[in-house]
């Protein structure tokens, strides 16, 4: 009788459907709104139904990461990068263009789903490599394959990979930091909450906060990558890694 509520997406769940709904929910209402019960309601289903596809809440978070990297891979597969005068010179090493493509795809997906960034950044801190979601494994494998094809030995490839991930992740994390305090406020001072910052204690901060968001994030991302990786020759380079690694 009381069957017509409203979301009423009819029968047959599946893991992709559940994950897509989860991502949509997080996009729409933030990470805190992601609840077994809430997600189930969105799918027109009882909470326990989800457990067949997600292995609990923890597993659902891993599912978010999975969906995220699946989207990165997808974008990578379908994107035809338009030639850019400033980035892709004719004679550039292919591994470097490819790394840039990956970084851009990653950034793109982050901009599409900024609310899942904290999960993407933090989850690997607690789930070991071998248990990472398949799309993550695929992407990583892909990067290593590209580097191997470019002739880098294992240690150098690893160093490049780490540098690449560190920078990309760090950039996006900083890019997405909150600067505005009260978005609806017309007065810029109040909007940024500068009245909370004593002019005596934080003069520089007060002066600079208004400009925190003024920059070209994509440019910063790729420029930094070039600085970090640009001077590396194609052949193994001893100077690149430290004394480390037995």
Partner DNA sequence: CGCACTCCGCGTACACCGTACATTTCATTC
Partner DNA sequence: GAATGAAATGTACGGTGTACGCGGAGTGCG
Residue 91 lies near a copy of itself (rule: CB under 8 A): no
Q: Could you tell me the two tokens for 165?
A: 């991930």
Which entry of DNA, a copy of itself, none binds 117, CB below 5 to 8 A by partner kind?
A: a copy of itself
Site for a copy of itself, residues 153 to 182, rule: CB under 8 A: 154-155, 157-159, 162-163, 165-171, 173-174, 176-181
Question: Using the rule CB under 7 A, is 31 a contact of DNA?
Answer: no
155 binds, among a copy of itself, DNA, none (CB under 5 to 8 A by kind): a copy of itself
Residue 176 interaction partner, one of DNA, a copy of itself, none, beta carbon < 5-8 Å per kind: a copy of itself
Sign of the torsion angle spanned by Cα atoms 17, 72, 148, 82: positive
Q: Which long-range contacts link 11-14 to residues 24+ away (Cβ below 8 Å)?
A: 13/43, 13/45, 13/49, 13/50, 13/52, 13/53, 14/53
**Identified binder of a copy of itself from the candidate list 36, 49, 88, 197, rule CB under 8 A:** 197
- Rounded CA-CA distance 134/141 in Å is 10
Which two structure tokens, joined as six digits, stand for 38? Answer: 């809430």
| Contact status, residue 61 vs residue 39, Cβ threshold 8 Å | no
Q: Which stretch binds DNA (CB under 7 A): 56-64, 77-85, 96-104, 154-162?
A: 56-64
3-state secondary structure of 14: coil
Interacting span for a copy of itself (CB under 8 A) from 18-26, 34-42, 44-52, 195-203: 195-203
Query: Of residues 7, 16, 30, 52, which one binds DNA by CB under 7 A?
Result: 52
Segment contacting DNA by CB under 7 A, of 49-57, 63-71, 100-108, 123-131: 49-57
Our CB check for DNA shows the closer of 21 and 102 to be 21
DSSP 99-150: HHHHHHHHHHHHHH-GGGHHHHHHGGGTS-GGGS-HHHHHHHHHHHHHHHHT
**Which of 51, 144, 202, 240 is close enough to bind DNA by CB under 7 A?**
51
Among residues 176, 174, 195, which one has the least CA distance to residue 185? 195
Reduced to 3 states (helix: H, G, I; strand: E, B; else coil), residue 3 is coil
Q: Is 47 in the site for DNA (CB under 7 A)?
A: yes
Q: What residues make contact with DNA under the rule CB under 7 A?
A: 11-13, 34-38, 40, 45-49, 51-53, 56-58
């Amino acid at each position: 009788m009381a069957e017509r509520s409203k979301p009423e997406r009819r029968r047959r769940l599946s893991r992709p459907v559940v994950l897509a709904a989860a991502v949509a929910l997080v996009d729409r209402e933030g990470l805190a709104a992601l609840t077994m019960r809430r997600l189930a309601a969105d799918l027109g289903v009882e909470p326990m139904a989800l457990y067949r596809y997600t292995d609990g809440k923890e597993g659902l978070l891993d599912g978010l990461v999975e969906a995220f990297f699946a989207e990165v891979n997808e974008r990578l597969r379908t994107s035809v990068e338009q030639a850019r005068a400033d980035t892709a010179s004719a004679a550039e090493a292919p591994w470097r263009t490819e790394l840039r493509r990956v970084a851009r795809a990653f950034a793109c997906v982050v901009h599409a789903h900024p609310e899942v960034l904290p999960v993407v950044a933090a989850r690997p801190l607690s789930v070991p490599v071998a248990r990472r979601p398949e799309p993550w494994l695929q992407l990583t494998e892909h990067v290593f394959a590209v580097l191997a094809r470019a002739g880098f030995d294992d240690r150098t490839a690893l160093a490049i990979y780490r540098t690449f991930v560190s920078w990309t992740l760090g950039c996006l994390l900083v890019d997405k930091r909150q600067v505005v305090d009260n978005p609806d406020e017309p007065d810029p001072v109040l909007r940024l909450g500068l009245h909370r910052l004593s002019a005596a204690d934080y003069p520089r901060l007060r002066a600079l906060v208004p400009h925190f968001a003024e920059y070209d994030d994509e440019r910063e991302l790729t420029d930094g990558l070039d600085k970090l990786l640009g001077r590396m020759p194609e052949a193994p380079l001893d100077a690149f890694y430290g004394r480390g690694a037995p």
